[in-house]
């Protein structure tokens, strides 16, 4: 399940999704004509900054097709295929690993330079936010597959994993902001028998993806309409303008106000029902048009850099054995910075290397993985890990690798993706003194290597982290006692992309051969 297909399958079934489907696509036949149109558009964009603080841009699925996410109503769109009974179009990437298109990144720069005052999108793929477009200047009218919102305080959480529901269902997670407020309230208030705050339920989060009959988010809709009224230019990029009320918002710009009316420009391969209202129609791919606009405005399309976060935690415990001995274990866990129970779809494998000086790691005898769900030991599947590198150069080191790419079923994401909820490895000591020695140190250096899932642009990252300083003290947890824990969240760069001009014909004309001697 990938790209927009997964999202489409989660929507309620509709035989007839409305609007027209699969109408033919056109491209400007005459390149000179296309260039003139881009000249005109660039000029209108310049004027909009001077006259009304920038344009309003309205984006649809057409701005994401160049990166491998199918649209809905194009000749190869999701709804078009459904109506024909044809196989669903192939997505070449998942929404979780998709990289913003040139158009997404151009819009970030245009907003930075004051050419865009507001962005209205019907896309749910999170790519505007991932590209770095500020949330306060963006209306996500149909929601976002990666966002969830608190029903009590309205705080929005944007995740690195896709929601599994649509239609504002509970996601099973609760609001950190509300929990923090509650904690402060409780620690501030004198403990009295009247304090009942602790008994009120945690604030629950809901997904933020509209199903067919859901109402658009009212505040974002209001802002989209207000900005569209106030600007002198609305630019539609890659939308067939068929879903009401979103498709009517750009028309606010061309309604007459105080004797003046603004302009509408539509860049789309298919004809739209609003073409008659547009003062300029461009039949070309949005990346081609936006690359041309950027060049004319003397701007560069910024590089895309994605950072993801992973939490690495260590936990030292004492477990009583049947024979009366007590064994010590060090558990290493790498997982979602959004909480241990969440999937990490961009991460495939974690390997941790503890570099010790002296003999405190001498007694580490074995490693095994715990099943993330059942907590059962699953040693056989990971026999190879017992061959983990054990070096004896400068002190001792031991390198277990935790491979999450197995065939366990991972709920709640359960879509067969490569990620477990988290990666966990356990080091066991035959001798308690080895870990006591660990505890005595202020910190021990640990090297963490990450392998990213298929589709993520950068495949590896590694960093050093410290185990310690430890905290927790000894706590009796029934079958074992917790001695100490330490945990830290790390930010890693997982994707990086530069944007080349997509059409050679649009580059500067080549110099004549005699002026351009071969190197």
The yes or no reply on residue 237 touching Zn ion (CB under 5 A) is: no
The yes or no reply on residue 203 touching Zn ion (CB under 5 A) is: yes
Q: For Zn ion, give the closer residue by CB, 153 or 454.
A: 153
Q: For Zn ion, give the closer residue by CB, 35 or 174.
A: 174
b (16+ CB within 10 A) / e for 479-514: ebbebbbbeeebebebbebebebbeeebeeeeeeee
b (16+ CB within 10 A) / e for 303-324: ebebebebbbbbbbbbeeeeee
Distance CA 342, CA 351 (A): 19
The yes or no reply on residue 493 touching Zn ion (CB under 5 A) is: no
Q: How far is the CB of 164 from Zn ion (least distance, A)?
A: 21
Q: Examine the residue annotation and report whether 480 is marked as an active-site residue of this protein.
A: no
The yes or no reply on residue 461 touching Zn ion (CB under 5 A) is: no
Give the per-residue contact string, 158-197, with Zn ion (x = CB under 5 A; - = no). Answer: -----------------x-xx-------------------
User: In sequence order, which ranges of 256-388 are alpha helices (DSSP H)?
Assistant: 286-296
Footprint of Zn ion on residues 258-277 (CB under 5 A)? none
Binding residue (CB under 5 A) for Zn ion from 11, 155, 221, 506: 155
Q: For Zn ion, give the closer residue by CB, 204 or 480.
A: 204
Q: For Zn ion, give the closer residue by CB, 86 or 153.
A: 153
Provide the sign of the torsion angle of the four alpha carbons 83, 87, 91, 95, taken in this order.
positive
8 A C-beta contact, residue 139 and residue 121: yes
Distance CA 310, CA 351 (A): 13
Q: How far is the CB of 177 from Zn ion (least distance, A)?
A: 5
Neighbours of 478 (CB within 10 A): 5
Binding residue (CB under 5 A) for Zn ion from 152, 277, 295, 480: 152
The yes or no reply on residue 93 touching Zn ion (CB under 5 A) is: no
Among 104, 128, 142, 360, which one carries the catalytic annotation? 142
Binding residue (CB under 5 A) for Zn ion from 63, 150, 209, 427: 150
Provide the sign of the torsion angle of the four alpha carbons 495, 405, 353, 422, taken in this order.
positive
Using DSSP, how many helices (H) and how many strands (E) does the chain show? 9, 22
The yes or no reply on residue 119 touching Zn ion (CB under 5 A) is: no
Q: How far is the CB of 352 from Zn ion (least distance, A)?
A: 34
Q: For Zn ion, give the closer residue by CB, 204 or 295.
A: 204
Which sequence positions are flagged as catalytic? 142
Summarize as ranges the residues that interact with Zn ion (CB under 5 A). 150, 152-153, 155, 175, 177-178, 203
């Amino acid at each position: 399940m990938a790209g927009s297909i997964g999202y489409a399958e989660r929507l309620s079934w509709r035989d007839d999704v409305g609007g027209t489907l699969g109408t033919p696509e056109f491209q400007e036949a005459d390149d000179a004509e296309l260039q003139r149109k881009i000249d005109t558009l660039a000029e209108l964009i310049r004027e909009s900054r001077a006259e009304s603080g920038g344009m309003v841009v309205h984006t649809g699925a057409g701005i994401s097709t160049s990166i491998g996410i199918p649209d809905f109503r194009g000749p190869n769109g999701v709804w078009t295929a459904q109506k024909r009974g044809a196989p669903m179009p192939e997505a070449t990437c998942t929404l979780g690993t998709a990289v913003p298109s040139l158009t997404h990144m151009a819009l970030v720069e245009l907003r930075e330079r004051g050419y865009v005052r507001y962005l209205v999108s019907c896309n749910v793929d999170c790519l505007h936010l991932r590209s770095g477009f500020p949330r306060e200047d963006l209306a996500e009218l149909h929601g976002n597959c990666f966002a969830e919102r608190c029903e009590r305080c309205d705080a929005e959480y944007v995740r690195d994993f896709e929601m599994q529901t649509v239609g504002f269902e509970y996601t099973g997670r609760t609001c950190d902001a509300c929990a923090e407020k509650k904690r402060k309230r409780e620690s501030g208030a004198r403990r009295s028998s009247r304090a009942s705050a602790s008994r009120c339920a945690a604030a629950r989060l809901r997904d933020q993806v509209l199903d067919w009959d859901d109402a658009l988010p009212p505040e974002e809709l209001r802002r989209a309409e207000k900005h569209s009224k106030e600007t002198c230019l609305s630019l539609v990029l890659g939308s067939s303008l068929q879903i009401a009320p979103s498709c009517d918002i750009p028309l606010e710009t061309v309604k007459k106000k105080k004797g003046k009316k603004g302009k509408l420009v539509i860049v789309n391969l298919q004809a739209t029902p609003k073409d008659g209202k547009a003062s300029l129609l461009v039949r070309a791919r949005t990346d081609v048009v936006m690359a041309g606009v950027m060049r004319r405005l003397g701007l560069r399309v910024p590089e895309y850099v994605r950072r993801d976060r992973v939490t690495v935690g260590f936990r030292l415990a004492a477990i009583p054995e049947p024979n009366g001995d007590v064994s010590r274990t060090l558990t290493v866990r790498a997982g979602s910075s959004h909480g241990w129970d969440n999937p990490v779809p961009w991460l495939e494998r974690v390997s941790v290397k503890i570099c010790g000086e002296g003999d405190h790691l001498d007694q580490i005898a074995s490693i095994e993985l715990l099943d993330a769900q059942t907590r059962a030991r699953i040693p056989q599947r990971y026999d190879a890990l017992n061959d983990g590198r054990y070096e004896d150069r400068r002190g001792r080191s031991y390198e277990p690798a935790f491979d999450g790419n197995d065939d366990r079923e991972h709920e709640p994401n359960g879509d067969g993706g490569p990620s477990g909820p988290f990666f966990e490895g356990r080091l066991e000591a035959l001798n308690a003194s080895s870990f006591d020695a660990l505890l005595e140190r202020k910190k021990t250096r640990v090297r963490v290597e990450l392998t990213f899932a298929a589709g993520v642009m950068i495949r590896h990252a590694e960093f050093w982290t410290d185990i310690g300083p430890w905290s927790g003290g000894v706590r009796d947890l029934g079958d074992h006692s917790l001695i100490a824990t330490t945990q830290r969240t790390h930010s890693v760069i997982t994707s990086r992309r530069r944007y080349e001009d997509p059409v050679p014909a649009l580059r500067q004309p080549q110099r004549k051969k005699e002026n351009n001697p071969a190197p």
